[in-house]
Amino acid sequence: MSTPPPPALQLRGLRIGHRGRALADQGLDLQLRAGEILCLLGPNGCGKTTLFRTLLGLLPALGGQAELAGLDSARATRAELARRVAYVPQAHAGVFAYRVLDLVLMGRVAHIGRFSTPSRADRALALAALERLGVAHLAARPCTELSGGERQLALIARALVQQAPLLVMDEPTAALDFGHQQRVLAEIAALAADGLAVLMSTHQPEHARQVASRVALMHGGRLRAQGRPAQVLRVDALAALYALDPTLLRRSLPWAAAPLDTEDTP
């Protein structure tokens, strides 16, 4: 009987923070396997971005352990981290007018070296990623000329060519119109169906309900709840998380007030 592969992400008491000061005394415990989408919800300043920066090696862990596909992130080189976790930031206006194809090829740095020239195979991978996301026709366009939705799809393509088992996405639908939000969410679901593990933050409970395998609520550097969307996205939990009147949430999120679906109970 073969041994199952390690999780794409395993946190054991991971403590995060800045300048040696942890956001919370209690560490983070979390597991994410291939094919799963974990949506992280919480107010601004709750620690989502700090967690992402820690996983990417930009901030040191202040305790506990984070394993990426079985590798202790604290002992990993930058290249090893880049081969295990790919990052998609929020779409924003580009400063440099890189061609879209060149932007995507930046995702191959972990495999070919910072000063190496991309090979024909690397370019084929980049074009295939753009084709998959429906934006191959933009390959020669400057990034500064793209719409927010087009830019977000290009950033996802850049992450895909890293060929990492874990995809970390920071509010991937922020500032996008409804159409592009739905397209990006559909692509995220398709990536998970192909075996990627996806950790994404969002301020939209509706989006978490739409694509997540599991949801985690974060506040003050701690995970306050984890579970399937129907278990976690409850009026009382969301009201406490965002300091809102539950009555307001019942009106704006009527599905969150519905009785718990017994089929969603483990």
User: pLDDT tens, 115-155?
Assistant: 778 899 999 999 999 999 999 999 999 998 998 888 889 99
Average pLDDT over every residue of 26-31: 94
The band of 96, judged by pLDDT with boundaries at 50, 70 and 90, is confident
User: Looking up tokens 């890189």, which residue turns up?
Assistant: 98
Min mean pLDDT across 62-71, 185-194, 195-204, 256-265 is at 256-265
State the Cα–Cα distance between residues 151 and 7, nearest whole angstrom.
Answer: 30
Share of the chain above pLDDT 70, in %: 92
Task: Name the H helices within 23-115.
Answer: 48-55, 78-82, 100-105, 109-112
22 contact partners, CB below 8 Å, separation of at least 6: 15, 16, 62, 63, 221
CB half-sphere exposure, 123, CA atoms < 13 A: 8
Share of the chain above pLDDT 90, in %: 70
The band of 94, judged by pLDDT with boundaries at 50, 70 and 90, is low
CB neighbourhood size of 230 (10 A): 19
State the Cα–Cα distance between residues 83 and 164, nearest whole angstrom.
Answer: 5
Pairing of strands 17-18, 21-22: antiparallel
Min mean pLDDT across 8-12, 15-19, 71-75, 113-117 is at 113-117
Contact between 151 and 94 under an 8 Å Cβ cutoff? The reply is yes
Min mean pLDDT across 20-24, 89-93, 212-216, 260-264 is at 260-264
130 contact partners, CB below 8 Å, separation of at least 6: 100, 101, 104, 136, 138, 139, 154, 157
